[in-house]
Copies of this chain bind each other. A is one copy, B any other.
Amino acid sequence: MYSFRNDYSEGAHPKVLQALVDTDLEQTCGYGLDPYCLAAADLIRDLCAAPEADVHFLVGGTQTNLVTIAATLEPYEAVIAAQTGHVNTHETGAIECTGHKVCTAVAPDGKLTPALVEDVLAGHNGTEHMVLPRLVYISDTTEVGTIYTRKELEALRRCCDDHGLFLFLDGARLGSALTAQGNDLDLPALAALTDAFYIGGTKNGALFGEALVLTKPNAHFRWYMKQRGAILAKGRLLGVQFQALLEDGLYFDIARHANAMAIKLRDGIAAMGYPFPVVSPSNQQFPVLPNETIRKLQDMSYGFESDHPVDPDHTCIRLVTSWSTPENAVEDFLQDLSKC
């Protein structure tokens, strides 16, 4: 039975893995300064229409978040995030461990807005007795599967400009976001509207890897990476993978597939009358099911995570699809669910 537990249950897309096989015995210099990383960075700058941007390749999302935030903020500056933000909830205090407070706003759909950002600012008086909120952390897709529109991101950009804030977009699931129904953002828009964002590979076709785009380069970023153990010795593994993913659009093709599978799940489950507290157009779906039904699905060995209890008898679960989710796994799941 299939596991919808997450989008990193499998390895890499075969084409990505083949690229690693093909280049395995070549000798290159280490630490991401090799021709593959340089080429992948050039490719990303091209795709982003951001010739001045710096591109750094890191291994995982928490690592990318903590290094970027530590490299951006002064010690007395803080992050603004949605209460559901990954850096706030699921990184074991990694940001605080670098010395920075995460100030949160309640955002039921997982998305920050200028009003929410300004609420946080209003709660800080600008004196030396309080932190100075300075970096706005958002995720696209968000932790609840929603996506930002261009208009929403433009509004956040203006808000950040008005208040001297740095806008950082966690793109662990950026492939899913940029190919979701209703999306009108693309890489050039992200490069134009954020100060930093990343193209998540781990959750969309790579063995591992996040390609961080700094639209405002930081001359010492690699020092921060090294200091946090975040420079991969055989750095070219990251360049090779991102080249394979991005050179001909594979990254977006497979994300589109993941979304299609998720929408098929969503529509099928909704058709059975189960509610979805938040409408997600992306590869994470959060239906509310009776606990009894959940137990039956688990007995059939379907894998998924419980997100939160809704009432004593119902739980909101999380179903995640990926580039590798077979359509018949979705169909089987829907059929089995309909029988519960």
Contacts and interface: CB of A to CB of B under 8 A. Distances in A.
A202 interface: yes
A229 B93 contact: no
A11 B237 contact: yes
Contacts of A91: 129, 226-227, 229
B23 A227 contact: no
A230 interface: yes
A220 interface: yes
Given A207-B234, A208-B234, A229-B230, A93 B78 contact: yes
A225 interface: yes
B17 A21 contact: yes
B92 A96 contact: no
B11 A75 contact: no
A3 B17 contact: no
A58 to B, nearest CB: 8
Contact of A202 (B70, B101, B228, B233): B233
Interface in A218-249: 220, 222-234, 237
B8 A92 contact: no
Contacts of A67: 229
A132 interface: yes
Contacts of A94: 226-229
A328 interface: no
A30 B102 CA distance: 26
A28 interface: yes
A20 interface: yes
A307 to B, nearest CB: 11
Contacts of A2: 27
Contact of A30 (B6, B63, B130, B223): B6
Contacts of A5: 29-30
Contact of A228 (B61, B207, B225, B229): B229
Contact of A92 (B6, B26, B76, B207): B76
B24 A222 contact: no
A99 B99 contact: yes
Contacts of A102: 101
Given A24-B10, A62-B229, A92-B130, A97 B99 contact: yes
A101 B93 CA distance: 6
Contacts of A130: 89-90, 92
A76 B227 contact: yes
A169 interface: no
A142 to B, nearest CB: 17
A226 B30 contact: no
Contacts of A223: 74-76, 92, 128, 132
B96 A234 contact: no
10 contacts: A5-B29, A20-B207, A21-B21, A59-B229, A59-B232, A96-B100, A97-B228, A132-B223, A202-B233, A207-B234
Given A11-B26, A20-B207, A75-B97, 19 more contacts: A8-B234, A9-B28, A10-B24, A10-B25, A11-B25, A59-B232, A60-B231, A60-B232, A62-B226, A66-B229, A75-B93, A76-B93, A78-B96, A90-B130, A92-B128, A128-B223, A129-B226, A207-B237, A229-B229
Top 10 A-B residue pairs of the complex, sorted by shortest distance between their CB atoms: A63-B229, A11-B24, A76-B223, A128-B222, A9-B27, A93-B101, A62-B229, A92-B226, A93-B131, A96-B101
